[in-house]
Amino acid sequence: MKTSDLHAKTHEELKSLLIDLSKESFNLKMQKATNQLTATHQIRIVKKNIARVLFVIGEKERVNYV
């Protein structure tokens, strides 16, 4: 997921994407806790994607504020 792709999305699309990523993060954490997760690097990728989405949401809010 690239930030340039995220900039093209609306605020509502970003919020729904954030919810989906949070659910995915929770599911991955539960799989790890029950030793069902084989690709542990997925947790790091999802966390970075959440940070990217939050960054773009913050940017859009700052631009609209000024």
Query: What's phi and psi for 39, nearest 5 deg?
Result: -100, 85
User: CA–CA separation, 11 vs 27, rounded Å?
Assistant: 25
Residue 15: per-residue pLDDT: 96
User: What is the per-residue pLDDT across 12-61, written as a single tens digit (0 to 9) for each?
Assistant: 999 999 999 999 999 999 999 999 999 999 999 999 999 999 999 999 99
Please tell me the pTM assigned to this model. 0.90
Amino acid (1-letter code) at residue 50: I
Domain range enclosing 58: 3-65
User: What is the per-residue pLDDT across 19-29, written as a single tens digit (0 to 9) for each?
Assistant: 999 999 999 99
Cβ contact 3:55 at 8 Å: yes
Cα Rg of the chain (Å, integer): 14
CATH number at residue 23: 1.10.287
User: CA–CA separation, 50 vs 38, rounded Å?
Assistant: 21
Structural domain count, the chain:
1
